[in-house]
Amino acid sequence: MPTPSHLKSSLYFDFRAARRVPETHAWAGLHEHPVVDGGEEGTEDAVPVVDVGAAGAAARVARAAETWGAFLMTGHGVPETLLARVEERIARMFALPAAQKMRAVRAPGEACGYGSPPISSFFSKCMWSEGYTFSPVSLRSDLRRLWPKTGHDYRLFCDVMEEFHKEVRKLADRLLELFLRALGLTGEQIAGVEAERKIGETMTATMHLNWYPRCPDPQRALGLIAHTDSGFFTFVLQSLVPGLQLFRRGPDRWVTVPAVPGAFVVNVGDLFHILTNGRFHSVYHRAVVNRDRDRISLGYFLGPPPHVKVAPLPEAVPHGRSPAYRAVTWPEYMAVRKKAFTTGGSALNMVSTDAAIEPDDAAAAAADA
């Protein structure tokens, strides 16, 4: 029976003091599939790299999103010096005293706060990580919970995250346009068609920071449980310590994403899978830990505002066929995913138009949540 997240978060587990991985943090079944290196260029396991500033980027984005659901994005124009400052500030935040971090603990049902990521509430085991979620548009007030005295560190953290958000939100618009062009939409359609225009205009961003402390027995522990991101797409900035793994089928294996300085990993999320009628598929991924070095990552999650229904774009549905998914809002989808976790089903299958589930189930599940 999974432990409610508020119970897990009411006690601070001191990773720094741990000399072994306790039963509470030991996961079974971590080594069911082999792990292969995704950095060997020219091999079929090489994680696609797309220079989004180069000619032909839309076609490369499309290919990567169709075949992997993820890629390493270079040529994006976000200065490496900014990325280095972001990383430095994140490391300082996670190094705050436990009591200070616990002041900002995410309460059950809250979107923002400190502690294990929301997904951890579905599992009885704890992950070898700490996280902090906040909204970049309200970060100055959110961050007061961590730094009530709003001193030097608070100001530097907020300044650098605001600068990062400004750059990366623009980048998200550019990437969205590449994705839509890749689906075959022309510039005029993107600018003129109401549904598509609204996606870019209303897209929201959430930031989630991860700290994976070094671990005395990394084979027994897990940094972040395997999952698909639920939104449209995510930019992941990982420190130079690898740990992110993407799941590939045929044969089933985990591919380690190489740490490429200055690159973002782009993950396709479930709502983009729905929007593109499954043409761009969401990627199943996890994060592992290692014995010698801490690892930090930042996820910049893009998705629709809570009230907006996401349904397959007509351009993505093959001629003469009906859409493969029904329309859902993000909260409705999260509620379906919650149900999927407890029943062992697949949330995407549960919102597929083929599913033997009543059309109003997503809304009903949302009402229950």
Ligand X SMILES: O=C(O)CCC(=O)C(=O)O
Contact between 256 and ligand L37FFZMX (CB under 6 A)? no
C-alpha pair distances (Å), 87 with each of 96, 161, 254, 301: 15, 10, 26, 17
Q: How far is the CB of 268 from ligand X (least distance, A)?
A: 12
Sheet (strand 244-248) strand order:
35-37, 253-256, 244-248, 285-287, 224-227
CA dist., res. 133 & res. 142, Å (int):
9
- Comparison of 116 and 276: residue with beta carbon closer to ligand X: 116
Q: Which does 312 bind (CB under 5 to 8 A by kind): ligand X, Fe ion, ligand L37FFZMX, none?
A: none
- Site for ligand X, rule CB under 6 A: 208, 210, 224, 229, 236, 238, 243-244, 285, 287, 297, 299
Task: Report the residue number, 128 or 301, with the smaller CB distance to ligand L37FFZMX.
Answer: 301
Give the Å distances, CA to CA, from 341 to 127, 202, 203, 337: 17, 29, 26, 6
3-state secondary structure of 143: helix
> Which residue blocks in 38-142 are alpha helix, DSSP H?
57-67, 80-94, 98-102, 139-142
Smallest gap from residue 285 Cβ to ligand X (A): 5
Which residues have CB under 8 Å from 321's CB, separation 6+?
A: none
CB of 208 to Fe ion, least distance (A): 8
Pick from Fe ion, ligand L37FFZMX, ligand X, none: which does 118 bind, CB < 5 to 8 A by kind? ligand L37FFZMX
Contact mark string toward ligand L37FFZMX, 66..95, x via CB under 6 A: ------------------------------
Give the binding site for ligand L37FFZMX (CB under 6 A): 111, 117-119, 133, 206, 208, 227, 229-231, 299, 301
Binding residues for Fe ion, rule: CB under 5 A, are 229
